[in-house]
Structure 1
Amino acid sequence: MPIVTVKFLEGRSDEQKRALVERVTEAVAETIQANPEKIHVVLEEMRKDHYGVAGKRISDQ
């Protein structure tokens, strides 16, 4: 049972998230010959004020 976690910044539409789950599932199934029914995709949407790069929060840039 593969479990894939994708972390990304907030702001994506439901349609984009749905497509991401579908495509990640397809990629994992094809790459490791896993049954798509057994692949779990976890989306972790992060607030821009909870993530930083180079010492600065994304929300402050």
Structure 2
Amino acid sequence: MPLIDISIAKGRSPEQLRALMDGVHRVAVETVAAAPENITVIVREVEHEHWARTNQTIAERNAAG
């Protein structure tokens, strides 16, 4: 019973997020033989100000770029 939890920075369209969920769902079926009805996919969108890598937020990188 896979629970797939994805964190992604905000900014994708609903269609892109839906395609991501569909792709991840299909890969779970194909790679670990999960029953489709037992797969849960959660997509969490994170504000750019709340996501940092190398001590710089996405918002800070975007402003500097």
TM-score w.r.t. length of structure 2:
0.89
Q: Structure 2: how far apart are the matches of 1:57 and 1:17?
A: 22
Q: Structure 1: how far apart are the matches of 2:57 and 2:34?
A: 38
2:57 counterpart residue number = 57
- CA-atom RMSD in angstroms: 0.7
Matches within 5 A, 1:11-50: 11-50=11-50
Stretches of 4+ aligned residues off by more than 3 angstroms: none
Q: Structure 1: which 5+ residue stretches go unaligned?
A: none
Q: Structure 2: how far apart are the matches of 1:3 and 1:57?
A: 28
Q: Structure 1: how far apart are the matches of 2:6 and 2:58?
A: 18
Q: How many residues were matched structurally?
A: 61
Q: Structure 2: how far apart are the matches of 1:20 and 1:54?
A: 26
> How high is the sequence identity, in percent, across the aligned residues?
34
